[in-house]
């Protein structure tokens, strides 16, 4: 049988193979000893380049046809190699490679010197050690000598690619954690980490890395026992009474968006999933945020019981593998997954859903999860639904164009808006409101890591990063300026004029400091830089998010709009907003509960200026000047030289995005964003 086999480097091999199982071989994983690599059958071939003796380690396919077709289509849109993209999305537990292992031959070690005996004992205790690791530890000369003398031998073994799915949670109460780091000179980043972990419940190391936190600070918090590793979902106590739910009042239409507050969204999702199971179908629900997934798992467990399967980085490797194949055996099941599960082979699917459309861009390829799930739903003939606190302009445009239906059930929440002074953390009126909720769940939001922004009196402006032009953060205790976007660091002087700087506005660290002074740190208090859709609070306090309006980019107001409405969606009783822009139209609309006005007005502006969603914008940074190469593409572009190289902003017709992106990727950008 001649087969097309995809490899992780993006190549396709045409191999003549003997397939050991009945049925279609497409989607099966195989091990290729001649290459020492894993391949995936992605199609049949009329000819073969070579005949190969390969092993098929699984009795079921790793992926289905819909996955392969989805990968090909999404790759053409985003200009990436489909097979490299396929392997990037698959859990690393399935991507094996063949490596050389040193093992003991069984030969008697009588008379060996102490160092040689130490090597032999180490190999025996480990049951075999990778050859290169053993040589790094004990020296290649000694290891080679023990192999030559017959005490060790080299054998081939298949192993999964190494990848840490380390998931963290707080090991001590937040107040205790804060007291432990309070006196440190470099506490800001550590405080931001523990605040984030408290707010979300669980955070993966990968998530923290994507947000720019240093591995050094993470290791410190683990070493001091402030954070702890969550071994698996089994360590989470999920105790809910079984709930009886009827079918939804009205079945949601195909390709629908459900815009609701947290509690309403949860109830809508529960009813929809229960109805799907009652009809004998399966559903696939994705959460891009690990904290949201954990909260959702607890909510759904009582309704779905054993019908709920979870596939995320919180699980042990053996459970990931088990659930990946088990979902193929079930005709009526709900799979709840993180981005780790995007290619999972689900049968009999009637519904694919995304719960909360935040952080939807994948780190590798900048592919939007919403697009990928929509394309999968198309090939599976399933509904695609999004549950979100508030729509973005792209989604609203689809609704306006008739490509998606929308259900909106925003809860009634009292909204108080108070004008904030330049440097104050709490206005007098805000303090009174917080005092009234002192024993209830309160979320404090500050859209900024660190202590404050740096203001230069001589320039009369906020200090900007000379590399990427983001506002610089002033870290109080260590007396340094840091760019939280690109990592630029300097002393406490203005990068533009060299003059002294002072604190302006404030970040999450200053907010925690002020709350501790005024109220003490309580378990019912939570601090965050962003409103994550993973629970509700009686009071949500936006202490400072005005800086979102200061970003010189086309979607700055949209980000401010989404931030405020997301905060409103988490509030059960009251939303309190402190702002220097109390008369801004977005603030006025949120007080009235009018979410649509901004969308309508902004869409008109975007259409007039041919901005997304009416076009695509590609923002890229390169270490060298490539303007001449890109100008040949015939697209509208703006270029800016920086200390790192050059920044490029291209406005592209959607139909040409794949072509342009493919060209851009050949120049290896150090930064790439798609809007």
In this prediction, residue 635 carries a pLDDT of 87
Each residue of 159-175: pLDDT tens digit?
886 555 578 889 998 88
In this prediction, residue 162 carries a pLDDT of 58
Q: Distances in Å between the alpha carbon of 342 and those of 42, 74, 131, 373, 434? A: 17, 13, 35, 8, 41
Each residue of 84-108: pLDDT tens digit?
999 999 998 999 999 999 999 999 9
| The two three-digit tokens of residue 355, written as one number | 């719960």
Residue 67 · residue 2 · CB < 8 Å: no
In this prediction, residue 50 carries a pLDDT of 78
Percent of the chain whose pLDDT exceeds 70:
92
In this prediction, residue 674 carries a pLDDT of 92
User: Cα(613)–Cα(313) distance, rounded to whole angstroms?
Assistant: 33
Nearest one of 448, 527, 425 to 194, comparing CA atoms = 527
Nearest one of 653, 649, 656, 652 to 673, comparing CA atoms = 649
Residue with tokens 């059960």: 572
- 608 pLDDT more than 90: yes
In this prediction, residue 449 carries a pLDDT of 64
- Residue predicted with more confidence, 168 or 381: 381
User: Cα(435)–Cα(303) distance, rounded to whole angstroms?
Assistant: 37
Q: How confident is the model at residue 549 (pLDDT cuts 50, 70, 90)?
A: confident
- Residue predicted with more confidence, 235 or 66: 66
DSSP string, 159-211: EEPP----EEEESS-HHHHHHHHTT-TT-HHHHHHHHHHHHHS-EEHHHHHHT
In this prediction, residue 235 carries a pLDDT of 36
- 312 pLDDT more than 50: yes
Q: How confident is the model at residue 508 (pLDDT cuts 50, 70, 90)?
A: confident
Task: Report the mean per-residue pLDDT for the chain.
Answer: 87
- Residue predicted with more confidence, 29 or 627: 29
- 248 pLDDT more than 60: no
| The two three-digit tokens of residue 213, written as one number | 């936190």
| The two three-digit tokens of residue 429, written as one number | 């009126």
User: Cα(376)–Cα(391) distance, rounded to whole angstroms?
Assistant: 21
- 238 pLDDT more than 50: no
Q: How confident is the model at residue 237 (pLDDT cuts 50, 70, 90)?
A: very low
Pairing state between β 29-32 and 37-44 = antiparallel
In this prediction, residue 361 carries a pLDDT of 92
In this prediction, residue 375 carries a pLDDT of 97
Q: Under CATH, domain 256-409 is a member of which superfamily?
A: P-loop containing nucleotide triphosphate hydrolases (3.40.50.300)
- Residue predicted with more confidence, 438 or 636: 438
Each residue of 443-490: pLDDT tens digit?
999 887 656 677 787 877 778 887 766 778 776 655 678 886 667 888
User: Cα(259)–Cα(399) distance, rounded to whole angstroms?
Assistant: 12
- 521 pLDDT more than 90: no
Strand-pair partners of 583? none
Pairing state between β 227-230 and 167-170 = antiparallel
In this prediction, residue 175 carries a pLDDT of 86
Report which DSSP code applies to 470. Answer: P
Considering the four listed CATH numbers 1.10.3470, 3.40.1350, 3.40.50, 2.20.25, the one that applies to the domain covering 414-451+506-608 is: 3.40.50
Kindly list the domain boundaries of the chain, sorted by start residue.
2-95, 98-160, 167-230, 256-409, 414-451+506-608, 616-674
Residue 181 · residue 239 · CB < 8 Å: no
The predicted model gives 181-195 an average pLDDT of 79
Residue with tokens 């790439």: 672
Residue 321 · residue 96 · CB < 8 Å: no
- 411 pLDDT more than 60: yes
Q: How confident is the model at residue 246 (pLDDT cuts 50, 70, 90)?
A: very low
Q: Which of 34-38, 245-249, 602-606 has the lowest mean pLDDT?
A: 245-249
Alpha-helix runs per DSSP H in 341-498:
369-380, 393-400, 428-436
In this prediction, residue 474 carries a pLDDT of 77
Phi and psi at 330, nearest 5°, equal: -100, 135
In this prediction, residue 249 carries a pLDDT of 40
The predicted model gives 528-533 an average pLDDT of 88
Per CATH, which fold does 616-674 belong to? Alpha-Beta Plaits (3.30.70)
Burial status of residue 381 (CB atoms within 10 A of its CB: 0-12, 13-18, 19 or more): exposed
- 674: Cα within 13 Å, side-chain hemisphere: 27
* CATH class as words, domain 2-95: alpha beta
Same fold, 2-95 and 616-674: no
Does this model's pTM top 0.75?
yes
Give first-to-last CA distance, the chain, whole Å. Answer: 44
């Amino acid at each position: 049988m001649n087969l097309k086999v995809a490899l992780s480097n993006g190549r396709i091999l045409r191999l003549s193979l003997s397939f050991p199982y009945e049925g279609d071989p497409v989607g099966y994983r195989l091990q290729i000893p001649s290459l020492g690599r894993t391949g995936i059958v992605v199609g049949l071939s009329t000819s073969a380049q070579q005949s190969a003796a390969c092993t098929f380690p699984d009795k079921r396919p790793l992926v289905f046809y819909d996955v392969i077709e989805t990968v090909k289509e999404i790759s053409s849109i985003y200009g990436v190699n489909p097979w490299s993209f396929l392997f990037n999305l698959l859990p690393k537990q399935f991507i094996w490679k063949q490596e050389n292992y040193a093992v003991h031959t069984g030969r008697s070690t009588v008379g060996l010197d102490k160092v040689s005996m130490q090597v032999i004992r180490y190999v025996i205790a480990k049951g075999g050690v990778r050859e290169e690791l053993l040589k790094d530890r004990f020296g290649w000369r000694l290891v080679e000598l023990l192999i030559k003398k017959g005490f060790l031998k080299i054998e081939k073994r298949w192993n999964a690619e190494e990848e840490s799915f380390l998931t963290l949670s707080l090991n001590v109460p937040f107040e205790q954690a804060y007291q432990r780091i309070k006196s440190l000179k470099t506490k800001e980043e550590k405080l931001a980490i523990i605040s984030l972990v408290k707010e979300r419940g669980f955070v993966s190391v990968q998530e923290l890395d994507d947000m720019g936190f240093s591995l050094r600070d993470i290791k410190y918090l683990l070493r001091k026992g402030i954070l702890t590793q969550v071994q698996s979902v089994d360590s989470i106590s999920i105790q809910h009474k079984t709930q009886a739910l009827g079918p939804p009042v009205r079945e949601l239409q195909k390709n629908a968006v459900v815009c609701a507050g947290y509690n309403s969204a949860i109830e809508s999702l529960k009813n929809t999933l229960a109805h799907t199971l009652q009809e004998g179908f399966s559903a696939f629900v994705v959460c891009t945020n690990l904290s949201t997934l954990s909260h959702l798992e607890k909510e759904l467990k009582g309704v779905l019981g054993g019908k709920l399967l979870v596939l995320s980085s919180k699980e042990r490797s053996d459970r990931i593998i088990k659930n990946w194949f088990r979902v193929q055996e079930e005709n009526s099941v709900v799979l709840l997954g993180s981005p780790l599960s995007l290619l999972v082979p689900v049968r009999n699917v009637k519904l694919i859903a995304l719960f909360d459309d935040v952080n939807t861009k994948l780190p590798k390829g900048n592919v939007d999860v919403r697009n990928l799930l929509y394309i999968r739903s198309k090939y599976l003939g399933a509904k695609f639904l999004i549950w979100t606190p508030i729509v973005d302009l792209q989604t609203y445009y689809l609704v306006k164009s008739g490509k998606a239906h929308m259900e909106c059930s925003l809860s009634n929440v009292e909204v108080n808006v108070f004008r904030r002074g330049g440097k104050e953390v709490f206005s007098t009126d805000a303090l009174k409101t917080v005092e009234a909720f002192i024993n209830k769940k309160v979320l404090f939001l500050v859209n900024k890591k660190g202590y404050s922004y740096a203001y230069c009196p001589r320039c009369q402006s906020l200090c900007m990063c000379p590399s990427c032009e983001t506002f610089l953060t002033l870290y109080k205790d260590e007396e340094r300026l840091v760019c939280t976007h690109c990592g630029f660091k300097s002393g406490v002087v203005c990068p533009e004029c060299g003059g002294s700087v002072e604190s302006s506005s404030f970040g999450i660290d200053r907010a925690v400091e002020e709350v501790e002074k005024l109220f003490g740190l309580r378990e019912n208090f939570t601090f965050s830089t962003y409103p994550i859709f993973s629970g509700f609070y009686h009071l949500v306090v936006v202490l400072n998010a005005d800086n979102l309006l200061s970003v010189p980019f086309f979607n700055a107001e949209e980000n401010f709009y989404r931030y405020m409405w997301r905060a409103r969606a988490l509030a059960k009783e009251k939303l309190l907003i402190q702002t220097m822009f109390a008369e801004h139209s977005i603030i006025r609309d949120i007080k009235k509960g009018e979410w649509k006005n901004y969308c309508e007005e902004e869409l008109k502006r975007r259409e007039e200026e041919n901005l997304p969603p009416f076009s695509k914008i590609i923002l890229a940074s390169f270490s060298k000047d490539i303007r001449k190469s890109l100008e040949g593409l015939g697209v509208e572009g703006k270029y800016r030289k920086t200390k790192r190289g050059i920044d490029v902003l291209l406005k592209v017709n959607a139909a040409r995005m794949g072509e342009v992106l493919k060209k851009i990727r050949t120049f290896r950008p150090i930064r790439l964003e798609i809007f």
